[in-house]
Structure 1
C-alpha cells in the first residue's frame, strides 16, 4: 500500500517540476532605452514619423511648426499634466486630412490642443491615401517649450 503511494507522489513531483521551470521568464537583457524627449510638442528624438516626408521641410520642420503653434492648456499646466497625445488621421491624395481623431490623451485639455494643432498642418500630395498617427508631447519646464504665461 505504501509503495504505490510513494510512486504516485514521485510521479507527481516529476510532472510538476518541468511545468514550474517553464513558467519562469528567460534571462534576457533589458531593452535599449529610446532617446530622451526634447521638449513640448517635439516628439521623440530619433523616432521617424512616416508622414513627415510629405511635410515641406521634413520631420524637423514638422515638429518645429508644432512647437511654435502648440499652446499648453492652462488646466494641464495648473495640474502639472504632462505626457504624449496621439492624433490619428488619413492623409488624402489631394494633400488634405480626413478622419482626424484623438487616439490617446493625457487630460487637462491636451487632447483638444493636439487636435487643433494637427488640423493646422499642410502636407504635400501623396500618391495614395495614408492612414497615420502623429505623437504630440506636452512637457512642462523645458526651455523653449510652448508653455503659456
Structure 2
C-alpha cells in the first residue's frame, strides 16, 4: 500500500535523502556534494515529499519557492524497482498538490533529458531552447500551470 508523506521530521527527511542517494549518487554517479545542498539541512528549508510502499521509502522529491507564483520541483527520485509503477507520477502529483495548497499557480523543474517524455505526459512543457548540463547530466527546463 502506497502512502505520500510530507516530511516534517529529521527521520523522514533522512529517508528522502536515502532514496535520493541511491538513485543519484549510487546509480547515476552524481557527486554527493552536488546532490545534498543547503536546502536539505532541515525539513523546513523546502517541502520534501516521501513516497512509502508498505512503510518502505521508495520515492522522494522536494520543492522550494522559485519565481513569482511558482514552486521549483527538484530531486525527484524513485528506486529502480519501483519505476514504471506510477511511483514517480505519485511524487510529482503530491508536490503539485502541496504547491497549490500553498497558493502557487505554477511549477518549474529541470528534467533529465531521459525523463522529458515522462514529465510531458504529466502536462509539463519544455521551455529551454536547448539541453544544458547539471551535475554532468543533460537537462531541460520545463514548466506547468497548475489548475485551481
Do both share a fold (TM > 0.5)?
A: no
Where is the strand percentage greater, Structure 1 or Structure 2? 2
Question: How does the TM-score come out when normalised to structure 2?
Answer: 0.30
Question: How does the TM-score come out when normalised to structure 1?
Answer: 0.30
Which entry has the higher C-alpha Rg, 1 or 2? Answer: 1
